Chain A
Amino acid sequence: MKILSVSNLNQSFGSRHVLNDISFDIKSGTIVGLVGPNGAGKSTIMKDILGLSDYQSGTITVAGTNTSFQDHRPLKQVGALIEYPGLYPFLTGWDNLKLFATSTANVEKVVSELHMNSYIKKRAGHYSLGMKQKLGIALALVNEPDLVILDEPMNGLDPQSVKDLRDLIKQMAGNGTTFLISSHILSELEKLADDLIVIKQGRIIQHTSMKEMLNRDSHFIILKTSDDRAANSLVVNAGYQVTASQPLTIIESESDEVAKILSLLSENNIEVIDFQHNEGNLEHSLLTVLAEEKV
Chain B
Amino acid sequence: MMILIRQELFKLFKKHSTWISLIVMMVIQIGFAVMAKIHPDVFNPQETYTTGYYATTLLVFYLIAASSSIITMEFQYGTIKNLLYREYSRGKIIISKWITLLVYSIAWLVWINISSLLIKFILFPKVDLGANLGHGYTVLTSTIVVDLANLLTVWLILSIVILLSNLFKNSAAAISVGIIGSFVTNIMSGMSAQLVIKWPWLKWNPLNMLQYPDQILSPSEIHLTRLTLTQLFSGNLVYIVLILAAGYLVFQHRTV
Contact = CB atoms under 8 A, between A and B. Distances in A.
Nearest to B6: A99
A73 B16 CA distance: 34
B201 interface: no
Contacts of A75: 85-87
B82 A100 contact: yes
Contacts of B14: 88, 90-91, 95
Contacts of B78: 83-87
Contacts of A91: 11, 14
A88 B77 contact: yes
A53 B256 contact: yes
Nearest to B7: A99
Nearest to B14: A91
B140 to A, nearest CB: 38
Interface residues of A, number: 29
A154 interface: no
Contacts of A72: 84-89
Interface string A5-39: 00000000000000000000000000000000000
A51 to B, nearest CB: 6
B114 to A, nearest CB: 27
Contacts of B16: 90
A265 to B, nearest CB: 59
Given A70-B90, A71-B89, A72-B86, A80 B11 contact: no
A47 interface: yes
B256 A52 contact: yes
Interface string A47-82: 100111110000000000000001111111010101
Contact of B82 (A47, A74, A86): A86
B15 interface: yes
B252 A70 contact: yes
A95 B13 CA distance: 12
B84 A88 contact: no
A47 B256 contact: yes
Interface string B1-18: 000000100110011100
Contacts, number: 70
B87 A86 contact: no
A51 B77 contact: no
B157 to A, nearest CB: 26
Interface in B47-100: 77-82, 84-90
B220 interface: no
B219 to A, nearest CB: 46
Contacts of B77: 86-89
A150 interface: no
A84 B86 CA distance: 17
B230 interface: no
Contacts of B256: 47, 52-53
Given A72-B85, A75-B86, A87 B79 contact: yes
A32 B84 CA distance: 23
Given A72-B87, A72-B89, A54 B255 contact: yes
B255 A52 contact: yes
Nearest to B84: A52
A139 interface: yes
A70 B255 CA distance: 11
A86 B80 contact: yes
A82 B10 CA distance: 24
A47 B84 CA distance: 10
A86 B86 contact: no
Contacts of A52: 81, 84-85, 255-256
Given A54-B255, A70-B252, A99-B11, A76 B86 contact: yes
Contacts of A53: 255-256
B96 to A, nearest CB: 13
Given A51-B85, A72-B88, A73-B87, A88 B11 contact: yes
A82 B89 CA distance: 19
A99 B5 CA distance: 11
Leading 3 A-B pairs by shortest Cβ distance:
A86-B78, A50-B85, A86-B79
7 contacts: A54-B255, A70-B252, A72-B84, A72-B85, A72-B88, A75-B85, A80-B85
Interface of B: 7, 10-11, 14-16, 77-82, 84-90, 252-253, 255-256
Given A52-B84, A52-B85, A72-B87, 6 more contacts: A47-B255, A50-B81, A53-B256, A85-B78, A87-B77, A100-B7
Interface of A: 47, 50-54, 70-76, 78, 80, 82-91, 95, 99-100, 139
